[in-house]
Structure 1
Amino acid sequence: MAQHLTDKDIENIVEILDYWPIDEKLTWDRLCKAIEIQLEFVPAPTRQTLQKYARIKNAFDLGKKSPTARLIISKTQEKLPASLKIAQSRINALESKLDRLEKENSMLLEQFVVWQYNAHKYGVSMAKLNEPLSNKSTD
């Protein structure tokens, strides 16, 4: 049976992805194990369950987006003193979080435009608000 995740669970999983170690390969299996260990989910949610949630899927995709850049940063960190490695790791995590939040914000703004258009067109109804924009060429 598919596990249902709360908003807090989703936020915690996205945080795990934001702070994913640069030198560790990101896979769905490893993410599921990290969730089981760090968030103490027993059993851990499956890849299919996690992919149903757009925030998790987008954060995962952003984490996978540039593995070569992650390796370059990782190799430069090896030359840094410990205190600077920690600071660089924190900066990288915060930059990852910023990228994710900017993408989420953009998606929410797009959704708002759809809702605004449909609210004007049909009146206020949740079912109507979630309809996609109509094609202008038929008007």
Structure 2
Amino acid sequence: MAQHLTDKDIENIVELLDYWSLDEKLTWERLCKAIELQLELVPAPTRQTLQKYARIKNAYDQCKKPSKALNVNINKRNKLPASLKIAQTKIEALEAKNARLEKENAMLLEQFVVWQYNAHKYGLSIAKLNEPMSKKSSD
């Protein structure tokens, strides 16, 4: 039976991909092993399980195809002192994370437009859409 991942698990896996070393080849098998070792999810989720989650799949695809500018930086990085290599690695990871977050944000905005259209189409008012969520009573 496929393992179900919590929102926190998904966030941790995406974060793991954000900081995946550019020097290490990314494969689904290596990602599953890293999840098991670093996130201590035992048994580790399978490739098929991971691919079902859009955030993980998008982060994986983004990490798998780094930009050409990053590939040029890898060659330059080999000539840098150790302290600058560390800084460069961190900058590259943050740039990759930023690109992933921008893509996720664009996808969420597209989803919002669809919801906005459907709300208008089915006669939901702004007032109804802005109603606060009901609080559960603790009785």
Class of the TM-score when normalised by the shorter of the 2 chains: 0.7 to 0.9
Contact 1:32 1:47 in 2 (8 A): yes
Q: By percentage of residues, which structure has more helix?
A: 1
Equivalent AA in structure 1 for residue 107 of structure 2? M
Identify the residue that residue 48 of structure 2 maps to in structure 1: 48
Moved over 6 A (4+): none
1:20 counterpart SS class:
coil
2:89 counterpart SS class:
helix
Identify the residue that residue 62 of structure 1 maps to in structure 2: 62
> Identical aligned pairs, as a percentage?
77
Identify the residue that residue 137 of structure 2 maps to in structure 1: none
Contact 1:17 1:60 in 2 (8 A): yes
Give the unaligned 5+ runs of structure 1: 125-139
Quote the Cα distance in structure 1 between the aligned partners of 2:34 and 2:123. 45
Question: Shift of residue 67 of structure 1?
Answer: 7.1
Question: TM (normalized to structure 2)?
Answer: 0.84
Question: Shift of residue 13 of structure 1?
Answer: 0.3
Contact 1:23 1:71 in 2 (8 A): no
Give the number of equivalent residue pairs.
Answer: 124
Quote the Cα distance in structure 1 between the aligned partners of 2:6 and 2:110. 24
Equivalent AA in structure 1 for residue 74 of structure 2? S
Quote the Cα distance in structure 1 between the aligned partners of 2:106 and 2:67. 24
Question: TM (normalized to structure 1)?
Answer: 0.84
Equivalent AA in structure 2 for residue 15 of structure 1? E
Identify the residue that residue 74 of structure 1 maps to in structure 2: 74
Identify the residue that residue 34 of structure 1 maps to in structure 2: 34
Contact 2:32 2:47 in 1 (8 A): yes
Equivalent AA in structure 2 for residue 41 of structure 1? L
Quote the Cα distance in structure 2 between the aligned partners of 1:56 and 1:117. 27
